[in-house]
Amino acid sequence: MLLGQKRILVTGGAGFLGSHLCRRLLNQGHEVLCVDNFSTGTRRNIEELISDPRFELLRHNVTFPLFVEVDEIYNLACPASPIHYQFDPVQTTKTSVSGAINMLGLAKRLKVRILQASTSEVYGDPIVHPQTEDYWGNVNPIGSRSCYDEGKRCAETLFFDYHRQHKMSIKVARIFNTYGPNMRPDDGRVVSNFICQALLGEDITIFGRGEQTRSFCYVTDLIDGLDRLMNSPEEVTGPINIGNPGEFTIRELAEKVIALTGSQSKLVERPLPEDDPKQRQPNIEVAEKLLGWRPTIKLDEGLVRTIAYFDALLREHGKKITSETRVRADAFV
């Protein structure tokens, strides 16, 4: 291995964020071991990486122990969209909790640094706005989203207990809503849904009046934040919010997508799902101060790049992607 080159494990490396992270680490000259069970990840996301001799792919479920030799671990394995994490909620909790235990155990044995992809969902339906890292959240422990929210909260607990008890080097990123190429068209997330609906000329479905707000971080900004956090000084453990504080209503997002695609689609309203947060916006002062990080890609620019990705994907599939085929999880693997 060359000086400064590391062998880095990325769990969930075939997923949306994981695939961008693998590409970035390879571009930096590192070796990457991508571990994924392909529950929501796709081969297409990592197709271009497979021919790189520094890239290795291992099909493995992180709920089982893993014995490999690496210098650093990014733990991203976990379905992130409500449709997918609610499909098998017990497996979702297991992935977060047993997955964290297994990866922390591996990091402990190897004495290496480990980063956890946590989430803004640990804040639940927040009553503090924008959310700062010291806010403990407002989470329903028994609802249909709890497998994800509480699983991720428990994973954070485990990271900090391993840190205190075993003096391990940990990093916890609380990721806010991120979008970009390599998202699945069938994941039910608002950006992918609106873009596919607009490109297909279908009605754009908004929940409630579309007045709930969200912030949207473009994927390259997010990956830059994870990279900076992993390489930050030892005492910077997080949790640190990584997201874009620009706040938009869902209706504004839909209108932007219609304008940028030139679509004839109409907006239609549907009932709000259970525990849908009304507002979600990161306070990123800690990331700015400790990591020198802030997002740089404006929503319109990120949407244009994401629209180009989905347009190509839809063309590849001969525009045979409809609302019905989109909800079939295997349609684009």
Ligand X SMILES: NC(=O)c1ccc[n+]([C@@H]2O[C@H](COP(=O)([O-])OP(=O)(O)OC[C@H]3O[C@@H](n4cnc5c(N)ncnc54)[C@H](O)[C@@H]3O)[C@@H](O)[C@H]2O)c1
Residues that bind ligand X (CB under 6 A): 11-12, 14-18, 36-41, 61-63, 76-80, 95, 99, 117, 119, 175, 177-178
Nearer of residues 78 and 284 to ligand X, judged by Cβ: 78
Degrees to nearest 5, angle at CA 93 with 89 and 98: 145
Cis previous bond, 130, omega within 30: yes
Pick between residue 119 and residue 232 the one whose CB is nearest to ligand X.
119
Does 148 qualify as catalytic in the annotation? Answer: yes
CB of 266 to ligand X, least distance (A): 27
What are the two backbone dihedrals, phi and then psi, of residue 269, each rounded to the nearest 5 degrees? -95, 140
For residues 80 and 66, give the distance between their C-alpha atoms in angstroms, rounded to a whole number. Answer: 22
Closer residue to ligand X (CB): 15 or 302:
15
Who's near 69: CB < 8 A, 6+ residues apart? Answer: 7, 110
Residue closer to ligand X by CB (options 61, 193) is 61
Q: How far is the CB of 328 from ligand X (least distance, A)?
A: 16
Measured between alpha carbons, how far is residue 157 from residues 100, 109, 128, 311 in Å? 10, 19, 21, 41
The DSSP secondary-structure symbol of 176 reads -
Catalytic residue among 123, 148, 162, 218: 148
322 three-class SS: coil
| Least distance from ligand X to the Cβ atom of residue 88, Å | 10
Tokens of 165: 């008890």
Among all chains, which residue has been given the structure tokens 């949790």?
Answer: 239
Cβ proximity to ligand X: between 199 and 223 the closer is 223
Q: Cβ of residue 207: shortest distance to ligand X, in angstroms?
A: 17
**CB contact at 8 A, 183 and 191:** yes
Residues facing residue 173 across a β-bridge? 117, 240
Q: CB of 262: closest distance to ligand X in angstroms?
A: 26
Q: How far apart are CA 320 and CA 333, in angstroms?
A: 15
Q: Which helix (H) or strand (E) holds 110?
A: helix 89-110
Q: Give catalytic residues, as residue numbers.
A: 148
